[in-house]
């Protein structure tokens, strides 16, 4: 017999069935959360929070106070394996009580569920002999500057402003099937800066993908050799300064001794002044010596770090018999020489905008009236140099100077109409021979910027729905999981629905429309032994459309035989 229900959140229903299919709900329900159970389990309220994120709820209270409250939608609750939903206040209490350990347990479930999809993309990339394309960034999550209830919030740069809040370090992978997959998100205080997070982003990407390129230990060995040689002048200078210090101290002691033995009143003032000069000479030499010692100490500490890095990379190469080629793109905030050198040594092809603005000024001095600029965009031109050795950078880089025209008038002086920046590249791709391709390759990192925009304008990550720090971290993770989940679900739905002219095509629909429109559209949910029909309301944006999911053949057979034997039992009962 068919069961018919009404829902105001149509697309959340098949998403719930997909969540059950991939083991998401059973995984979350199996987590142990040390909270009391009244009407709803804490696990059910965590699931409800995830569904609220998927629905694009701006505020947690939207669960109960929106025009069509989620907690009143029994069709959605049952699709997600729940008899009903809790009020938003109960969800809030559960999230507030989560410990860091419990939040990490929930995240582990989300990662386990995600892994088969990630592995599938990695296998596809390997079969196509494609290198992995990572993009990393740091995005601000501001709160009210007057707030005092967000733990460990700090002031930092967020959207060209100084704001109170947090930073989220994110990494995405270019996916042949889904376009973009989020790999990781790390929670940080608001005063965290990009230049200190490059290594963390790379390590997070490697941890999630389980893949890494071959470490360039031969380059690192040469760098260490050059590092050792570069300290030799300082070591020789240190020896000279120690000799000079001993001589200055000896001269001072000799003068002091003369002063003590002097009996001629006219000679005493002369010797006193000489003592002052000798003391100043000692102080000057000691200052120079101290400066050299500090420099050598830092140098030796850096050398130690490089040698430890070499040992680690040699181990990692030995444990990585099938390394993949991989590329990392980062914006100027990460583009310090130390970060670039590290990524090069870790084996990556690097595309980055340089952090040091002085490089732009230096490159502009290399440009003459005879320099041939290449137009790479409507308002952009580039000129490049291959294998340029920059001061303080241990490896030669391909360097490009970009020139952007920001005004239409030609009467304004050029300095007011042009904006410059510097791009850097390291890798086998001959980027300087095709500047248009280089420009396009670097600016394709807009995919992660579009992803960050999606997290904030579709899933409202910038509106923190909770104030407990473990729960804030959980919201960050659930947001990038939701963006991936919908992409996976779109493919799954397309594979499982019965296709005809009335079928709603989700594949042609963007994530924003799926969340903000389809997940808030009224529909009838009709289920029987043959399958489930999601029939959109005739007054909705998808009037006349539907999604029909036939039950698997084995399920229909089981239902048929169950009904058959039930009828036989009824007939036998009547005959008796």
559 compared with 464, residue with greater pLDDT: 464
CA distance 492 to 472: 30
CA distance 470 to 151: 10
pLDDT at 349 over 70: yes
Residue 405's pLDDT is what? 86
pLDDT tens for residues 221-258?
Answer: 999 999 999 999 999 999 999 999 999 999 999 999 99
The single residue listed with the structure tokens 């009407």 is 39
pLDDT at 556 over 50: no
Q: What are phi and psi of 373, to 5 degrees?
A: -85, 145
pLDDT band with cut points at 50, 70 and 90 for residue 115: very high
pLDDT at 263 over 60: yes
Q: What is the mean pLDDT of residues 340-362?
A: 95
pLDDT at 563 over 80: no
Residue 408's pLDDT is what? 57
Nearest partner of 68 among 549, 548, 540, 542, judged by Cα: 540
Q: What is the DSSP string of 325-373?
A: PEEEEE-GGG--HHHHHHHHHTT-EEEEE-S-THHHHHHHHT--TT---
pLDDT tens for residues 200-221?
Answer: 999 999 999 999 999 999 999 9
Residue 573's pLDDT is what? 55
* pLDDT-wise least confident of 9-13, 187-191, 556-560: 556-560
Using CB atoms within 10 Å of the CB of residue 533, give its burial: 0 to 12 exposed, 13 to 18 middle, 19+ buried: buried
Q: Please tell me whether residue 299 adopts helix, strand or coil conformation.
A: helix
pLDDT tens for residues 386-428?
Answer: 999 999 999 999 999 999 987 654 444 544 478 999 999 999 9
Q: Are 523 and 537 in contact (CB under 8 A)?
A: yes
Percent of the chain at pLDDT > 70 equals 94
Residue 561's pLDDT is what? 39
Residue 315's pLDDT is what? 97
Q: Are 107 and 115 in contact (CB under 8 A)?
A: no
pLDDT tens for residues 51-103?
Answer: 999 999 999 999 999 999 999 999 999 999 999 999 999 999 999 999 999 99
Q: What is the mean pLDDT of residues 27-35?
A: 95
User: In this structure, are strands 523-528 and 3-7 parallel, antiparallel, or unpaired?
Assistant: antiparallel
Q: What mean pLDDT, rounded, does the chain reach?
A: 92
């Amino acid at each position: 017999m068919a069961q018919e229900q009404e829902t105001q959140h149509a697309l959340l229903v098949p998403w719930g069935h997909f969540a059950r299919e991939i083991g998401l709900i059973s995984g979350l329900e199996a987590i142990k959360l040390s909270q009391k159970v009244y009407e709803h389990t804490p696990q059910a309220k965590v699931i409800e929070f995830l569904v609220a994120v998927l629905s694009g709820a701006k505020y947690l209270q939207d669960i109960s106070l929106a025009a069509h409250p989620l907690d009143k939608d029994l069709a959605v609750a049952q699709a997600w394996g729940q008899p009903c939903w809790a009020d938003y206040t109960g969800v809030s209490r559960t999230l507030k009580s989560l410990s860091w350990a419990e939040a990490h347990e929930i995240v582990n479930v989300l990662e386990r569920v995600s892994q088969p999809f990630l592995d599938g993309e990695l296998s596809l990339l390997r079969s196509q002999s494609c290198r992995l394309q990572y993009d990393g960034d740091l995005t601000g999550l501001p709160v009210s500057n007057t707030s005092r209830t967000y733990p460990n919030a700090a002031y930092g740069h967020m959207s060209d402003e100084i704001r109170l809040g947090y930073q989220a370090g994110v990494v995405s992978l270019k996916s042949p099937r889904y376009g973009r997959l989020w790999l990781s998100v790390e929670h940080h205080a608001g005063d965290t800066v990009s230049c200190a997070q490059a290594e963390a982003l790379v390590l997070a990407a490697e941890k999630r993908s389980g893949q890494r390129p071959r470490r360039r230990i031969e380059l690192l060995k040469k760098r260490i050799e050059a590092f050792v040689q570069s300290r030799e002048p300082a070591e020789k200078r240190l020896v000279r300064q120690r000799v000079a210090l001993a001589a200055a101290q000896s001269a001072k002691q000799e003068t002091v001794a003369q002063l003590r033995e002097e009996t001629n009143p006219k000679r005493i003032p002369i010797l006193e002044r000489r003592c002052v000069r000798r003391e100043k000479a000692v102080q000057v030499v000691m200052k120079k010596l101290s400066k050299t010692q500090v420099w050598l100490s830092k140098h030796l500490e850096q050398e130690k770090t490089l040698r430890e890095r070499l040992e680690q990379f040699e181990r990692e190469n030995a444990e990585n018999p099938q390394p993949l080629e991989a590329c990392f793109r980062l914006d100027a905030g990460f583009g310090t020489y130390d970060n670039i050198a590290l990524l090069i040594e870790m084996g990556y092809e690097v595309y980055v905008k340089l952090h040091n603005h002085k490089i732009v000024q230096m490159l502009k001095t290399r440009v003459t009236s005879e320099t041939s600029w290449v137009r790479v965009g409507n308002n952009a031109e580039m000129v490049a140099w291959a294998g340029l050795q920059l001061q303080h950078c241990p490896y030669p880089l391909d360097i490009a100077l970009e020139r952007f025209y920001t005004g239409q008038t030609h009467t304004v002086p050029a300095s007011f109409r042009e904006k410059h920046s510097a791009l850097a590249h390291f890798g086998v791709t001959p980027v300087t021979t095709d500047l248009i391709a280089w420009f396009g390759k670097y600016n394709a990192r807009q995919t992660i910027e579009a992803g960050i925009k999606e997290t904030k304008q579709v899933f409202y990550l910038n509106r923190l729905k909770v104030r407990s720090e473990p729960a804030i971290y959980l919201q960050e993770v659930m947001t990038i999981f939701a963006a991936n989940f919908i992409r996976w679900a779109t493919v799954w739905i397309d594979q499982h629905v019965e296709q005809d002219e009335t079928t709603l095509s989700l594949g042609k629909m963007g994530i924003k429309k799926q969340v903000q429109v389809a997940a808030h559209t009224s529909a009838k949910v009709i289920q029987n032994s043959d399958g489930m029909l999601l029939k959109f309301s005739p007054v909705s944006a998808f009037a006349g459309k539907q999604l029909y999911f036939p039950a698997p053949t084995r399920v229909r057979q089981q239902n048929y035989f169950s009904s058959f034997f039930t009828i036989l039992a009824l007939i036998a009962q009547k005959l008796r």
